[in-house]
Amino acid sequence: MIQLSHIATERRNPESEKIDTLDTLEILRLINKEDQKVPQAIAAELPKIANAVDCIAARLQSGGRLFYLGAGTSGRLGVLDAAECPPTYGTDPSLVQGIIAGGMKALLIAREGAEDSDSLAAEDLQAAHFCAKDVLVGIAASGRTPYVIGGLRYAGKIGAATVSLSCSPDSPIAKLADIPLTIITGPEIITGSTRMKAGTAQKMVLNMLSTATMIRLGKVYGNLMIDVKASNKKLEERARSIVMEATGCSRSEAIDALNESDGRAKLAVFLLLTQLPADSAKKILAEANGHIRLALEKLTNKRSI
């Protein structure tokens, strides 16, 4: 029998014991008050989150990939964060992947029973050709989901890097991970409804992991998403805006540079900043692993010799 009373996220919140007697505005104020505890809980884990980012960035720089693994809300949040990386940072869809218990159908229709298998995750990871070069982030609010436990065990067994993300102290997945992240959000407003504070905390941490990793990989210049993939009209305009913001050029100059760069904002910016031919700019950027600032420094040093 699962002892729910032993799981922090399953305990009853004394602040909301009479929430059903409150008027609508009071209900919302109470929810909002509880939600304000989330960033404070995350702040306590920032050093460990930084360790996780450095681990992920190093693995990706060495040819590895990042996998999020979870069930229910946790799995959906992982899939969501992974799905946002290609359009935002121009990554290949295989670089950051989300795996949810029960498969992609579980995104729309809850298949909560799938989380009870401790062997299914290994099969799902094998199907994705998960290997020792990769990183697995196992996500479970309770930290006790068998699907996630099985995935972390498999990842550790083959030598992959492992990170856990839970909201309950002393959880099984924390004990299995190289880098355990435990965000103590406390009991939910509605007992056991971990899509609330716990889900918010998980979403914020996943945003941190992917965003900070992409910054470390040179996919951000200043605070501009320099590797944005211009896959629709809005993103095409965003790419033009990024080039203009980064270089101070006119809109027509940005359009010309993007045309010369096959729509790649990073290359367009580098062309405008250096006035180099496209082939030379590509080579120097490649030597700097896609980091504009590093490429500019190398070019300055070369010219000063």
Give this prediction's pTM. Answer: 0.91
Going across the sheet that includes 96-100, the strands are 96-100, 66-70, 135-139, 161-166, 179-182
253 is catalytic: no
Dist CA 75 CA 102 (whole Å): 10
pLDDT confidence bin for 2, thresholds 50/70/90:
low
Mean pLDDT of all residues belonging to the chain: 92
Q: How many CA atoms are closer than 13 Å to the CA of 68, on its beta-carbon side? A: 31
Sign of the alpha-carbon torsion through 301, 221, 92, 276: negative
pLDDT in tens, 127-151: 999 999 999 999 999 999 999 999 9
Structure tokens at 88: 């935002």
115 is catalytic: yes
User: CB-based contacts of 94: which residues, under 8 Å, 6+ apart?
Assistant: 65
Cβ 93 vs Cβ 86: under 8 Å? yes
Pick the catalytic residue from 10, 84, 123, 236: 84
Quote the percentage of the chain above a pLDDT of 90: 80
CB atoms within 10 A of CB 185: 25
Which tens digit of pLDDT belongs to each residue from 80-135?
Answer: 999 999 999 999 999 999 999 998 888 877 666 677 788 999 999 999 999 999 99
Catalytic residue among 45, 115, 245, 260: 115
For 234-276, the pLDDT digits (tens) are 989 999 999 999 999 999 999 999 999 999 999 999 999 999 9
- Positive or negative: CA dihedral 288, 293, 294, 295: positive
Q: What are the distances in angstroms from CA 185 to CA 38, 46, 210, 234?
A: 6, 15, 21, 36
To 5 degrees, how large is the angle CA 50–CA 175–CA 70? 75
**233-304 has which fold?**
Helicase, Ruva Protein; domain 3 (1.10.8)
Query: Which CATH number fits the domain 4-216, given the four candidates 3.40.50.10490, 1.10.10.10, 3.10.20.30, 3.30.479.30?
Result: 3.40.50.10490
Q: Give the domain ranges of the chain.
A: 4-216, 233-304
